[in-house]
Amino acid sequence: VSGFFFSIRRFSFRPEPDPYCQAKYTFCPTGSPIPVMKGDDIIEVFRLQAPVWEFKYGNLLGHLKIMHDAIGFRSTLTGKNFTMEWYELFQLGNCTFPHLRPAMNAPFWCNQGAACFFEGIDDIHWKENGTLVLVATISGNTFNEMAKWVKRDNETGIYYETWTVQASPERGAETWFESYDCSKFVLRTYKKLAELGAEFKKIETNYTRIFLYSGEPTYLGNETSVFGPTGNKTLALAIRKFYYPFKPHSSTKEFLFSILQIFDAVIVHREFYLFYNFEYWLLPMKFPFIKITYEEIPLPNRNKTHSGL
């Protein structure tokens, strides 16, 4: 094993989304700027978790432990509550699969994700089938430092990545590609707060992760080298064929049907074409192929030394 490991590439700015990319549900409809808190304010920090698509299916995906994560804040000076989360601009299907557009040779991706901040915490939403629990208390100054970091993080980490790709389900197995999703944002924010001196309570915190299992990935090239005028036509066709069943603008029923078709491609042909950091990779898939886990990732310990980004 060569021991390479990929995490999401950072960018210098966030590009304007292409008008072709349309959201079924508006991204961050009531979003507002992060307020500046009074330095001596005491801010309570809450862990928020609820089943994905709960607004449509109630607790259905909660039974499968497919959960969405967010962070809540409450100012003790003003009594105001706030919610902060990170999610897909154009829903999950668009971040996981591309569009095959007739006039374009290369698959077309609508895979941006971003942070959303708004006033209020929908207590019922988080409590009913999920979690709303106090994890830390911070000062207004710490909150303001975190807010600056969120802005930087949001401008530089702009693409959503659904999959974590590992060599096997065993503990300590090689990780080839790291996901970049709502839970990763929450974990990064907790880590930043710990760096800024926040003390977290000792409670168990679990997160949903979607794994693909594969042998060492093979690098195939970027959009131009695969699909461009001097590209590899056979490979281009194979990638398009792989993605054909997955219609990103699909209903959830169709999305779940697509997942079944993936299983066929992945289990019968043992192949998965992954698009990561604008590059294509071939994953030689291994048993158990795909797995959704709900595993504990502990809250961070307070850092003795405060560091930057």
Contact 255, 274 (CB under 8 A): no
- What are the residue boundaries of the structural domains of the chain, listed by start? 42-298
Residue 221 in tokens: 């090239």
Q: H/E element holding 145?
A: helix 140-156
Q: Which residues are catalytic?
A: 68, 182
Per-chain mean pLDDT for the chain: 89
Q: What pTM does this model have? A: 0.89
Residue 51: predicted pLDDT: 84
Contact 277, 180 (CB under 8 A): no
Residues in the chain, total: 309
pLDDT tens sequence across 151-183? 999 999 999 999 999 999 998 999 999 999 999
Residue 1 has pLDDT above 90, yes or no: no
Residue 209: predicted pLDDT: 92
In the block, residue with structure tokens 């699969």: 97
Residue 309: predicted pLDDT: 46
In whole angstroms, what is the distance from residue 254 CA to residue 276 CA?
A: 24
Contact 130, 205 (CB under 8 A): no
Q: Which of 89, 72, 109, 96 is nearest to 189 (CA)?
A: 72
Label the pairing between strands 175-177 and 131-139: unpaired
Residue 256: band (very low, low, confident or very high) from pLDDT cuts 50, 70, 90: confident
Residue 63: predicted pLDDT: 57
Residue 141 has pLDDT above 60, yes or no: yes
Residue 28: band (very low, low, confident or very high) from pLDDT cuts 50, 70, 90: very high
Q: H/E element holding 100?
A: none
Contact 282, 226 (CB under 8 A): no
Residue 62: band (very low, low, confident or very high) from pLDDT cuts 50, 70, 90: low
Cβ-proximal residues to 31 (8 Å cutoff; 6+ apart), any chain: 116, 117, 118
pLDDT tens sequence across 222-245? 999 999 999 999 999 999 989 988
Residue 307: predicted pLDDT: 47
The pLDDT of 21-47, averaged and rounded, is 95
